[in-house]
Amino acid sequence: METAIPYKIYLDEDEIPKQWYNLRADMKNKPAPLLNPGTLEPMTLEELSVVFCEELAKQELDDENPFIDIPQEIQDFYKMYRPSPLTRAYCLEKKLDTPAQIYYKFEGNNTSGSHKLNSAIAQVYYAKNQGLIGVTTETGAGQWGTAVSMACAYLELTCKVFMVKCSYEQKPFRREVMRTYGAQVSPSPSTETVVGRKILEEHPDTNGSLGCAISEAVEMTLDSPGYRYILGSVLNQVLLHQSIIGLEAKAAMDKYNIKPDIIIGCAGGGSNLGGLMGPFMREKLLGNEDYKFIAVEPASCPSLTRGKYVYDFCDTGMVTPLAKMYTLGNGFIPSAIHAGGLRYHGMNPALSQLYADGLIEAVSAKQTEIFEAAELFARTEGTLPAPESAHAIKVAIDEALKCKETGESKIILFGLTGTGYFDMQAYEKFHDHKMENYVPTDADLEVGFQSLPDLPNL
Amino acid sequence: METAIPYKIYLDEDEIPKQWYNLRADMKNKPAPLLNPGTLEPMTLEELSVVFCEELAKQELDDENPFIDIPQEIQDFYKMYRPSPLTRAYCLEKKLDTPAQIYYKFEGNNTSGSHKLNSAIAQVYYAKNQGLIGVTTETGAGQWGTAVSMACAYLELTCKVFMVKCSYEQKPFRREVMRTYGAQVSPSPSTETVVGRKILEEHPDTNGSLGCAISEAVEMTLDSPGYRYILGSVLNQVLLHQSIIGLEAKAAMDKYNIKPDIIIGCAGGGSNLGGLMGPFMREKLLGNEDYKFIAVEPASCPSLTRGKYVYDFCDTGMVTPLAKMYTLGNGFIPSAIHAGGLRYHGMNPALSQLYADGLIEAVSAKQTEIFEAAELFARTEGTLPAPESAHAIKVAIDEALKCKETGESKIILFGLTGTGYFDMQAYEKFHDHKMENYVPTDADLEVGFQSLPDLPNL
């Protein structure tokens, strides 16, 4: 055991980054612009600002500035729960008997239970700064909704959350946490919006999906003066805010002169993976370093590994702009797996472009093997991971075991995005051997692809 | 805002204490010894070792050595989740508009969700070291049981937990966390023990209590070769292990030359309060510094504020040794308040002696005012506290508001023992205004006192 490297590396408070990193600025092939679905022209700042706060709309469109200042108020909020620890998984390494070194950046040490708070506070801050009275949003697993509720409580804005129905039912206590922070939470699809009622009529037994919840939140925003919509993943602005993860991780590693060989993140909409890998990808894009990046997605919702790289709506109700991304089709309804945060049909446009350019790899994993990895991790490293995070754990373990075979001492970094305290129903199913491994057939995927907009020239 | 003091003070890994502090060594009036209920003579090491691991029995009897080495294996485990942050509650101070400075030592950043892991790993380590195959224990809120499960998973011992029935029912997911770590969990009173069956016969609708769960765990230990019983609070050995909280807190404060005026902890069996205040109490006992110590207990289970300082059994089934302590009587069955960790009839013997000597103060608080404080804290400081911890928050806020009146800039330190993620049923009741404020009448207390053993000469 190298005594020189502690179990946990904490930056000092004054080492917390004061600027976010904007990955797009260093990409040679920029992500394709968001398009207005009516005109098929790139969305303008004015158009975006109907739905988003103006400053966030600016960030969404900014492909040029590599670094963007973090406002002081957000820096102060970050100090309440950041820096997050970069942890050396000594016990997991020992258990696996691997020559690999495993590190994870743990974002679960805050009440939202995940990295989502990094962007929630930023988005709510800009809403407050613009003089708004509240925000609407959606949540899958509930982590994003909790984060937004916390940020709104702190900055005293009102908060309306549409929670994907199967998560709402699987996690009644998540709703109660949001309520503690003063949020109003509805299961989605709900009867509160036109699009929700339409989906309920067509699919009365639907589990809901992030795409559907987004439609409802956007619709309510457009009907509510003084409100804007905010989103916890998929958007480029979210990757910008989440770059704090990678910036801290890289600064902590640099302190000890550690260079990761492999960087692994779970991928739903891409916010955690993009945030963790961003500052490392910069070095790769600038030709200074090389790293292997691996996105891990659920086999049941395989947007990168089995999706199409085309323009699609970000939501099921087709009310959002069009984004060019790896997508399973906005009409794809994923099965009710217990990683609600990864049940999304598309992938962030910048990550999609990087994947298309061969700069990142992607793999998928099945639910039970995810929970096997989660339990092994809990028992050796102590922390009970969120099912989403366990996707990254699974592949980190796989890579460490490859090293055991080859004898290589690779350095593996993965993002432990959050804790699984509100996922115990899922763990219970796993313990009782009642967990299913749904993998869509090609025919299943074809149903989703049917929902892609007919845009032959894009 | 003093920029010199960060929001969170983390010690470096090599600053984590390597010795525990044994408060009893510096007490002029030692806590009264545990007595054998048969002979009324002080318990010997041999007698204690039937129930406890030998090394823990030694620690239990050690009133002499102020510092005891922490074995390297336990130090290594501590590195997985320690040091815990000492946090300046800047946002709460601002919200209260108080000139007071408020600090809290936060022990919730581990999957057990509380400080309990500090003693669990120690006790399980000594069991393993003695060549045992497993441990039995009880749990109230579930934090201790989770901590023991984690320690047993890590050291590969088997783990049997009796969980107080009302917590078992209020917190189904707690059980599932313990199961993730491989523990076997039963609601107490159970039909698995003689004492459990007896209590169920007499009180079929009982909510259970820590005292009853202890009886069951001890009985099972005595019937199971290769097992020993471990306890999460009340005992002096537990305060010894929990001194890591106070040692770290004091080291962190010393770094910034901060001297607390008031030190506040919630008090059930006394482990958190004793652990937090120990190293500060040392300075008071040695005459170097003065501090005000406040124990906060639930109004529904007021052992210090309304109990008697006499010899009593530590459990309801009267199978344990006798301890001289503030007690409501081993037959006192507390109401099913949502702070399961504080539903205990007695108080640690060393704390009891200090309280009898006027060295610490005690106050009690009602359930709804506890949750009001908890919600305010969550909304301002981010972290959702456990109901137990919220007792300390409530009194810290009260003290800070007194400072606002007087204009004094007192420095307040309290123990934020854990998170409330598994207490959302309680928060729900609070939000729905369905929470009751039970305060026992003197007649209610008299029923408990009737159960005190008849020991006229002690």
C-alpha closest to that of B385 among B411, B413, B422: B422
A422: chain B residues, CB-CB within 8 Å: 173, 421
**Could you read off the pLDDT of B165-185 as tens digits, one per residue?**
988 988 889 999 999 999 999
Please answer yes or no on whether A427 and B179 come within 8 Å at the CB atom. Answer: yes
The whole-angstrom separation of Cα A32 and Cα A24 is: 11
A421: closest chain B residue by CA: B421
Query: What digits encode the pLDDT tens for the residues B315-359?
Result: 888 889 999 999 999 999 887 767 777 888 999 999 999 999 999
pLDDT digits (tens, 9 = 90+) for A419-449: 999 999 899 999 999 998 999 999 999 999 9
Q: Which residue has the higher pLDDT, A211 or B280?
A: B280
Q: How far apart are CA A26 and CA A114, in angstroms?
A: 27
| Cross-strand pairs, B311 | B324
| DSSP state for residue B23 in the 8-state scheme | G
H-only helix segments in A97-230:
117-129, 143-155, 165-170, 172-180, 194-202, 210-222
Q: Which tokens belong to B436?
A: 């009751």
- The yes-or-no verdict on residue B148 having pLDDT over 50 is yes
Say if residue A2's pLDDT is above 60.
no
Percent of chain A at pLDDT above 90? 89
ipTM score for this prediction? 0.94
Nearest CA in chain A to B378: A181
Give the three-class secondary structure for A224.
coil
> For residues B108 and B418, is the Cβ–Cβ distance under 8 A?
yes
pLDDT above 80 for B3: no
Q: Which of B14, B81, B95, B431 to mutate to test the interface with A (most CBs of A within 10 A)?
A: B81
pLDDT, average across residues A12-39: 97
Q: What is the DSSP letter of B267?
A: -
Instruction: Quote the minimal CA–CA distance from A226 to chain B in Å.
Output: 23
pLDDT of residue B341: 78
- Residue A111's pLDDT band, with cuts at 50, 70 and 90, is very high
More confident residue, B421 or A335: B421
Query: Is the separation of the CB atoms in B129 and B46 below 8 Å?
Result: no
pTM beyond 0.90, yes or no: yes
Q: What is the mean pLDDT of residues B269-280?
A: 97
- pLDDT for res A14: 95
The length of chain A in residues reads 458
Residues of A in contact with B181 (CB under 8 A): 378-379
Give the distance from CA A237 to its chain's centroid.
12
Q: Which of A7, A109, A182 sits opposite B109 (nearest CB)?
A: A109
Q: How far apart are CA A218 and CA A264, in angstroms?
A: 32
Per-residue pLDDT, averaged over A96-108, amounts to 98
> Tens digits of per-residue pLDDT, A31-74?
999 999 999 999 999 999 999 999 999 999 999 999 999 999 99
Taking CA atoms, B48 is separated from A48, A236, A357, B387, in Å, by 72, 63, 68, 33
Exposed/middle/buried for residue B302 (C-beta within 10 Å: 0-12, 13-18, 19+): buried
Give the DSSP letter of residue B368: H
Q: Which residues pair with A158 in a beta bridge?
A: A134
d(CA B51, CA B135): 10
Looking at chain B, the whole-number percentage of residues with pLDDT higher than 70 is: 99
Tell me how long chain B is: 458
User: Which spans in B111-227 are helix H?
Assistant: 117-129, 143-155, 165-170, 172-180, 194-202, 210-222
pLDDT of amino acid B199: 92
Calpha distance A31→A232 (Å, rounded): 19
Q: Burial level of B158, CB count in 10 A (0-12/13-18/19+)?
A: middle
Structure tokens at A296: 């891990």
Mean pLDDT, chain B, whole residue set: 95
Element (H or E) spanning A9, and its range? strand A8-9
**Are residues B248 and B278 in contact, defined by beta-carbon separation less than 8 angstroms?**
no
Give the pLDDT confidence score for residue B351 in this predicted structure: 98
8 A C-beta contact, residue B27 and residue B285 = yes
**CA B349, CA B49: separation in Å to the nearest integer?**
19
Contact between A177 and B419 using a beta-carbon 8 Å cutoff: no
Cis peptide before B66 (omega within 30 of 0): no
The pLDDT value given to residue A1: 44
Residue B22 reports pLDDT greater than 90: yes
**Of A426, A400, A146, A414, residue with least CA distance to A266:** A414
| Residue from B9, B143, B180, B435 to probe the interface with A (highest A Cβ count within 10 Å) | B180
Scanning the structure block, which residue is given the tokens 């207390």?
A: B445
C-alpha to C-alpha distance for A315 and A344, rounded to whole angstroms: 9
Which whole-number Å values give the CA distances from A232 to A133, B299, B332, in the listed order? 19, 42, 50
**CB-based contact B154 A182, cutoff 8 Å:** no
> Would you say residue B2 has pLDDT above 70?
no
CA distances for B369 relative to B107, B298, B372, B391, angstroms: 22, 11, 5, 9
CA distance A374 to chain B (A): 9
For an interface test with B, the pick among A384, A393, A433 (most B C-beta atoms closer than 10 Å) comes out as A384
Lowest mean pLDDT among A180-189, A347-356, B255-264, B420-429: B420-429
Q: What is the DSSP string of B405-444?
A: HHT---EEEEEE-BB-TT-HHHHHHHHTT--------HHH
Question: What is the Cα–Cα distance from B402 to B72, expressed in whole angstroms?
Answer: 44
Give CA A95 to chain center in angstroms. 29
State the pLDDT at residue A97: 98
Question: What is the per-residue pLDDT across B439-458, written as a single tens digit (0 to 9) for each?
Answer: 999 999 999 999 999 987 77
Q: How many CB pairs under 8 A join A and B?
A: 116
Quickly count: other Cβ atoms within 10 Å of residue A302's Cβ: 20
Q: Which residues of B touch A (CB under 8 A)?
A: 6-8, 10, 12-14, 79-81, 91, 109-111, 113, 150, 153-154, 172-173, 176-177, 179-182, 375, 378-384, 419, 421-422, 424-425, 427-428, 431
What lies within 8 Å, CB to CB, of A71 at 6+ separation is: A125, A129
Give per-residue pLDDT as tens, A147-173: 999 999 999 999 999 999 988 988 889
pLDDT band at residue A302, thresholds of 50, 70 and 90? very high
Q: Would you tell me how many other CB atoms lie within 10 Å of the CB of residue B328? A: 29
Measured between alpha carbons, how far apart are the two ends of chain B, in Å? 54
CA distance to A42, B275, B309, per residue, from B426 (Å): 50, 27, 32
Alpha helices in B207-261 (DSSP H): 210-222, 236-255
Mean pLDDT of B393-415: 98
Closest CA to A245 of A114, A353, A154: A114
Best mutation target among A75, A78, A81, A112 (most B Cβ atoms within 10 Å) is A81
Q: Helix or strand or coil: residue B236?
A: helix
Place A341 in a pLDDT band, splitting at 50, 70 and 90.
Answer: confident
Interatomic CA distance for residues B352 and B297, integer angstroms: 13
